[in-house]
A = this chain, B = another copy of it.
């Protein structure tokens, strides 16, 4: 499919999809006329990318990660080099820390919201 359709299917802007290719997160084929040609599986792949972006990873990190996880269809390359893991562990820690921070923030927020709803001594 072409870039416009992928954009529609994923809800991601054409601009971003081109950027993803620039960052090697997507590797679409090219029609003879220069148009990008994406596969069906790229829909899922873009969703993955979006998820990782939403988690605060940057494109370089995602680029490292994707070859290890995208193998929904092709599974040869699902085992990353161990050296890659060394780079992944800090990322993991950051995510855990972020979840912790978010959870704490959420609790605080919920206390605030509860207090605003009913200032009665319920908590």
Name A residues whose Cβ lies closer than 8 Å to a Cβ of B: 48, 51-52, 54-57, 65, 68-69, 78-82, 84-85, 88-89, 91-92, 95-99, 101-106, 108-113, 115-117, 119
Residues on B with C-beta less than 8 A from A101 are 51-52, 54-55
Central interface residue in A56, A57, A65, by most chain B CB within 10 Å: A56
Known A79-B115, A81-B116, A99-B99; 13 more pairs at CB < 8 Å? A48-B108, A56-B102, A65-B109, A65-B112, A68-B116, A69-B109, A69-B111, A79-B119, A80-B115, A85-B117, A88-B112, A98-B98, A99-B106
The quantity of this chain's copies bound in the complex is 2
Closest 4 CB pairs of A and B: A55-B105, A54-B101, A68-B112, A55-B102
Within the complex, the shortest CB–CB distance from A94 to chain B, in Å, comes to 9
